[in-house]
Structure formats: C-alpha cells, structure tokens
Amino acid sequence: MEDVEYAGGIPAILNTLKPLLKDNITVTGKMILELADEGKVTDSDVIHPLAAPIADQGGISILYGNLAPDGAVVKSSAMSPGMRKFSGRARVFDREDDAMKAILAQQIEPGDAIVIRYEGPKGGPGTREMLSPTAALVGLGLRDSVALLTDGRFSGGTRGNCIGHIGPEAYVGGPIALIQEGDTIEYDIDAGTLNMLISEEELEGRRSTWTQPDKKVKRGMLAQYIDSVTTGRKGAIRG
C-alpha cells in the first residue's frame, strides 16, 4: 500500500480505470470521474496501464458447482501454481475450533480437503474468519498440499488454497452441509468449478435426512440476526 501511495494512490488508480467507470457522486461531494481527473500515475511499474496489466486475470476468482450453487470466493493470486487444480479427500468439521484441534494434532495429511462449515452468516453467526486454520497450515508446511473450504470467510492477507463464502451456507442446508468424511472434492480455478464427486441421487438422499442444527445463540440481537441475515451472496445484511 505504501508503494501504491507513492505511485499516486487511489486517485491514480481511478485515473487509470476512468474508461471503465460510471460517474457517481462520492462521499467527498465530488463526482468519481472528477476525482479520477485529479489523479496521476507517477510509477507505472506499480500502477500498470490498462493495456499492460500485471496478469490476465484479477486476484479473485469465483467458483461454481454442485458444492457451491451460489458461488464461492478464492484469492487465486495467493495460491500455489500447482494447486490451481486439485482433487482431495474431505476432512469435515462443523466448527472452526474442531478443525484447529485436528490441524494442531497433525491429523491432516497432504491431499486432504479440509471442510469447515456452519460458520457462515447464519451459522457463525456472522461469517467467522478462518485466520487461525490458514496460519496453522502454513506453519506446518501444508500450504502447498492441502485445500481449505468453508462457508465462513478469509481476510485479505490469506495465503494458500483457501476457498470461502461457499453458498448456500451449511446452516440453511447448502450442499456443504451434505459433505461426508472421505468424499472427493475437486476444484479447478481456471475453469471456475467447485464440486464434490458424488451422484445427484446420493446428494438428494443425504438432503432428505439432513436437519437444521439449533441456533448457536438463542436470545438477543445475535439471535435476531440469525433469523434475518441474508446470504453472503447478497452481502450478509439484515433483510
């Protein structure tokens, strides 16, 4: 961010993106194109022109499939090149804390696909951030051999093969709630896909026996939040 600031900052980025912007008022009281006109790039090695981007694709990828009908988000720029396509054995945890215990006890092996569910907007409640598991995997040298999937979220500093915001979330019966230990999970970043390799008949059978768990919070504002919050796809705001 310091490099960006010295290269002209956000106004310079706006100036670069000006052909793609739609004019709107901003909190400054100025129109966004007016702010873009005020910007100037002073270091094109930091803020590249549109005609010469750093990469062909942005740093974020959206995946869809039978595991994520409403989509999932991955910071693909932070993934290992060899992990952009992956197939692994599901290790399933209904709480972040349980996953952490397994990771720290060295019960996770290369090729595993860790699934942490019931941590979404309703299930968390509040879409918990999976910072501890990701940091532990990096510390144990598993960053380049293990995938982590969740209906929770990740921060901008996340490194590794971490797919979050899987929707619909487990608490409302999304497919992530139906994964069983040992299932094969497969993703392909370049193809934009995220799937569990089971038949639709098997998936429907599991769905018919699934029951929604009790709320983690039963009184107060958080209980009301669970009842009213929208999906991550819609911003996880109170509807």
Domain match, 68 and 26 both: no
Domain match, 65 and 30 both: no
Alpha helices for the chain (secondary structure H): 2-6, 9-17, 32-38, 96-104, 131-139, 200-209, 220-228
Identify whether 48 is part of a domain. no
Q: Which residue range forms the structural domain that includes residue 110?
A: 61-232
Domain match, 123 and 210 both: yes
The model's pTM: 0.84
Q: Catalytic site residues?
A: 155
Identify whether 171 is part of a domain. yes
Identify whether 44 is part of a domain. no
* Inter-residue long-range contacts of 18-23, CB under 8 Å, 24+ positions, other chains counted: 19/50, 20/50
User: What phi and psi, each to the nearest 5 degrees, are found at residue 134?
Assistant: -65, -45
Domain match, 132 and 195 both: yes
Check residue 186 and give its pLDDT. Answer: 98
Which element (helix H / strand E) includes 48?
Answer: none
Measured distance CA(33)–CA(68) in Å, rounded: 37
Domain match, 16 and 91 both: no
Domain match, 120 and 22 both: no
Cβ 87 vs Cβ 202: under 8 Å: no
Cβ–Cβ contacts within 10 Å for residue 167, how many?
A: 23
Identify whether 223 is part of a domain. yes
Identify whether 7 is part of a domain. yes
* pLDDT tens, the chain, 239 aa long: 999 999 999 999 999 999 999 999 999 999 999 999 999 999 999 999 999 998 888 889 999 999 999 999 999 988 888 999 999 999 999 999 999 999 999 999 999 999 999 999 999 999 989 999 999 999 999 999 999 999 999 887 777 899 999 999 999 999 999 999 999 999 999 999 999 999 999 999 999 999 999 999 999 999 999 999 999 888 888 87
